[in-house]
């Protein structure tokens, strides 16, 4: 299923799609940047190859037409400059992928429950609505896979992430003591109500529209 959100002129647009084998080097790079103390990293290739119950979506950079023309003419493109500053010798092609991956999210689905296993955005692309777009997409994937609730764990000190999840209807349901191995920090368990309910669906529609109005176009192909 491909969905289009309203277009707004901007240099950075996103394509949301399922992760591919060739994306895994970039995915691991994002893991190292977002979760430097996490070990081991998720087994992306194994999950993709053997159809395990964990599914991954990636956010890829897509340039608007005017930005492409600027790039052809040698003009400045902010996102391109940010990429070059952080990775002066690397492109998507260098990783075996023809797209630059800027964020990812993982979803484990079992017995009507969808659990978000990971969500991260490259530092240079944060505060541009990408993390929220990943959350929207993974909730939609859970709906497509006939899940009834979505759950996750979040660090007890990560108030910004908790605020985003609460915005989308997640509530605190418990605590996992010493869950994070790097510093033994507690994890808060957060869960939604039934995501097929009218109240949740109404909230999701309003938030999707608000995100589109603020951040502009994103093209999402999330069916796996």
- State the DSSP H helix or E strand holding residue 219, giving kind and residue range, or none if neither: strand 218-221
Tokens of 120: 């991260």
Handedness of CA 150, 155, 156, 161 (dihedral sign): negative
Tokens of 38: 């996490």
| 9 among known catalytic residues | no
| 165 among known catalytic residues | yes
Place of tokens 């399922």: 18
Q: Which of 165, 166, 180, 185 is catalytic?
A: 165
Q: Which of 153, 166, 179, 180 is catalytic?
A: 153
How far apart, in whole angstroms, are the C-alpha atoms of residue 113 and residue 60? 27
Bridge partners (DSSP) of residue 171 are 191
Q: Which residues are catalytic?
A: 153, 165
């Amino acid at each position: 299923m491909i969905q289009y959100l309203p277009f707004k002129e901007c240099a950075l647009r996103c394509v949301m799609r399922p992760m591919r084998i060739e994306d895994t080097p970039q995915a691991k790079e994002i893991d190292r940047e977002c979760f430097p103390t996490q070990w081991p990293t998720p087994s992306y290739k194994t999950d993709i190859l053997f159809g395990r119950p964990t599914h991954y979506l990636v956010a890829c950079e897509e340039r608007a037409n005017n930005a492409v023309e600027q790039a052809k003419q040698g003009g400045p493109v902010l996102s391109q400059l940010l990429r070059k500053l952080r990775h002066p010798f690397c492109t998507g092609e260098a990783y075996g992928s023809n797209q630059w991956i800027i964020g990812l999210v993982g979803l484990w689905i079992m017995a009507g429950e969808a659990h978000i296993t990971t969500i991260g955005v490259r530092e240079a692309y944060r505060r541009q609505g990408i993390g929220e777009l990943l959350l929207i997409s993974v909730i939609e994937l859970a709906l497509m896979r006939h899940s009834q609730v979505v759950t996750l764990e979040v660090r007890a000190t990560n108030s910004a992430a908790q605020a985003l999840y609460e915005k989308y209807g997640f509530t605190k349901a418990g605590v996992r003591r010493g869950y994070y191995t790097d510093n033994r920090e507690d994890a808060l368990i957060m869960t939604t109500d039934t995501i097929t309910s009218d109240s949740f669906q109404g909230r999701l529609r309003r938030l999707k529209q608000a995100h589109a109005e603020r951040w502009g176009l994103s093209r999402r192909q999330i069916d796996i």
